[in-house]
Chain A
């Protein structure tokens, strides 16, 4: 029995055999030439056979996959034997290059060509490079890269998952995730929460686990046990037979009836429909990038109106908070962002792109207003990456100009949290983006696994800034002249991953946050836990968390006072 500690990012306790993600396929030697025992034709035949095997393997996997995964696998299968790719490799073989190196070079040439075309083609670059690695692995008898294929369920052990892996992850086979890298905001963590898979990230010791070792994973405490004993077996059995969570009732509230509407984070009309089906009381974060990503030019008004309208349609009479274009840093857009910035997280991103590329935001607001006019949703609009009261005021003016009456801001920059009263005196509401707020407060890149313990929304410094934001909002409300309008409330919501953690959701409620917005899958667990505490108890837990000196202390102290978490296996 060996225990490995990491960071629990998605609750649940499971047992299963470990299966490792194979290491990346090594680049063949730059001067690899085929030997005297092979010929140009022999080498080409070897390459063709390997490419065909890869195509058949991918086709076979596509047959048992569904949805997005199926489409990705089918398209990649065709690429494996694409004449353009094989002809380019053939030219290198004619010059004496070994098949492995020839396909490596050819893949790079094709990828560069696609990249230069931009837009949709540039997005296919990764598929070509994936196919290239698969062919090299096939030629050299190495395990195929990517999520391993297995007929029986397993716990996936990896360094970190890439966005491309998420399309091919089959939740019927992968029952838990353990990564040595990654943090609470990593791709692995976000994927695990969306799929409801128990997951532990930043488990540095997991690199030494070998295939087939039996593992116990506790995604709430961040514990991984190799060759588990009877107490772990019992815990997993207890989890397997846990009281299943009732679906979310559609009304978020504490046990004494203090209302905390539970909203959903979505990125498209399709997401919005499933969020409505899951009982979401509205949309707390509509990421509008979905309409722009992978584009090399700005989408036209008609296209934007249709895209936003599809979301509004799913929530007639309900609140839908639209976040304007959040380009930059990890979401570059070729027509808005300068990718050569040395420090993009601190660069021209979010609302700041309105200075470098004026017009795009104004046209987006117009499209939102047209779509809002055609539907019955209660449309609120907020700008990302607001740092000052002037920026908040500028955005409010732009919204008013477009005929949008509920302007707000994202609070992600510590400066905006500290100056919340001034910022909120210019706009109608604020939404705390806890992922970026944490990265900026702790000065820790959210993509870096080595900084995962810093990048934790339970950090007391982050909780202090959230409290400060709520206090600022209440002060801004009090400053409004009485009788001026009934709309004097300054709503403060949370739309980061923090809202999806049921224990943290209770703390946020106690801090005075008005609404919580999360991945629709978290609605049931957050709703169930919130319903077991009174507002006074939530306030008590909030002060326990604020008084803690460390993130670990805050989490442990709050969780130990919420026994319902254990009963529900959360």
Chain B
């Protein structure tokens, strides 16, 4: 399954405004995308399109997360989402 690692760039971490921007972007992808902290098993990954899931993930600035997706367009979707995570959305 295609996957990508990304380092959280937003200073407040992945909640509040950054979480809602990212969740909206994930929901707009043609494939289902999951998110997990680096090192966590893939079957415990959370729905990346859920702001509540992102908030419960509790990723802070500098944490590394793993995005996974399958199906047509998965690679493009993951690349687009990595870019969002690696931008400081709280600026």
Contact = CB atoms under 8 A, between A and B. Distances in A.
A84 B50 contact: yes
A237 interface: no
A353 to B, nearest CB: 27
A121 B20 CA distance: 13
A82 B16 contact: no
A163 B8 CA distance: 32
B7 interface: no
A479 to B, nearest CB: 52
Contacts of A78: 20, 23-24, 51
Interface in A316-369: none
Interface of B: 15-16, 20, 23-24, 46-47, 49-53, 55-56, 58
A506 to B, nearest CB: 45
Nearest to A83: B50
Contact of B53 (A74, A83, A120, A128): A83
Interface of A: 74-75, 78-79, 82-85, 87, 110, 113-114, 117, 120-121, 124, 128
A128 B52 contact: yes
Contacts of B20: 74-75, 78
B56 A85 contact: no
A76 to B, nearest CB: 11
Nearest to A111: B52
B56 A121 contact: yes
A121 to B, nearest CB: 5
B58 A83 contact: no
Contacts of B24: 78
Contacts of A110: 52
A172 to B, nearest CB: 26
A83 B15 contact: no
Nearest to B23: A78
A84 B58 contact: no
Nearest to A88: B52
A85 to B, nearest CB: 6
Interface residues of chain B: helix, strand, loop or mixed (majority)? helix
**Residue from A79, A83, A87, A114 with most neighbouring chain B CB atoms (10 Å):** A83
Contact of B55 (A74, A87, A124): A124
Nearest to A86: B50
Given A120-B15, A120-B16, A82 B51 contact: yes
A110 B58 CA distance: 14
A121 B15 contact: yes
Given A75-B20, A78-B20, A117 B58 contact: yes
B58 A79 contact: no
Contacts of B55: 114, 117, 121, 124
29 contacts: A75-B51, A78-B51, A79-B51, A82-B23, A82-B50, A82-B51, A82-B52, A82-B53, A83-B47, A83-B50, A84-B50, A84-B53, A84-B56, A85-B50, A85-B52, A110-B52, A113-B56, A114-B52, A114-B55, A114-B56, A117-B55, A117-B56, A117-B58, A120-B15, A121-B15, A121-B55, A121-B56, A124-B55, A128-B52
B7 to A, nearest CB: 21
Nearest to A110: B52
Given A79-B51, A79-B52, A117-B56, 20 more contacts: A75-B20, A75-B51, A78-B23, A78-B24, A82-B23, A82-B51, A82-B53, A83-B49, A83-B53, A84-B50, A84-B52, A85-B50, A85-B52, A87-B47, A110-B52, A113-B56, A114-B56, A120-B15, A121-B15, A121-B55
A120 B17 CA distance: 12
Contacts of B23: 78, 82
B44 to A, nearest CB: 14
A120 B51 CA distance: 14
Nearest to B53: A84
A252 B15 CA distance: 45
A402 B15 CA distance: 36
Contacts of B46: 84
Contacts of A79: 51-52
